[in-house]
Amino acid sequence: MQNNITDHSQHLESGLSMAVAKTSPPLVVSGLTLAGVQLQDWLILATLLYTVIQIIIALPKLKQSFSEWRKK
């Protein structure tokens, strides 16, 4: 019986997290629009954030490649 309750609780948590993940982007866009930020500006900000994250992820690999190249 306890195992069944645990499984149900995990299923509920999983479903809740999926619901939050699916509704977050529209809620953020709506909130920013109500705050006066146009959709075009929001997309530019999201693109800028995505680009910065990609650069941060790529830096260690680039540093390692450069170090290996200098050793040769």
| Same domain assignment for residues 46 and 68 | yes
- Say if residue 39's pLDDT is above 70: yes
The pTM of the full predicted model, rounded to 2 decimals, is 0.47
| Same domain assignment for residues 26 and 43 | no
- The amino acid present at 18, given as its one-letter code, is M
Q: Predicted confidence band at 54 (pLDDT cuts at 50, 70, 90)?
A: very high
| Rounded mean pLDDT, 10-19 | 71
| Same domain assignment for residues 50 and 32 | no
Which range of residues forms the domain containing residue 51? 38-72
Q: What's residue 8's pLDDT? A: 57
| Same domain assignment for residues 64 and 46 | yes
Residue 32 CB-density burial (10 A; 0-12 exposed, 13-18 middle, 19+ buried):
middle
Highest mean pLDDT of the ranges 29-33, 37-41, 45-49, 53-57: 53-57
| Same domain assignment for residues 1 and 31 | yes
How many domains is the chain built from?
A: 2
Residue 71 CB-density burial (10 A; 0-12 exposed, 13-18 middle, 19+ buried):
exposed
Q: What's residue 57's pLDDT? A: 93
Sign for the CA dihedral angle at 53, 58, 63, 66 comes to negative
| Same domain assignment for residues 1 and 32 | yes
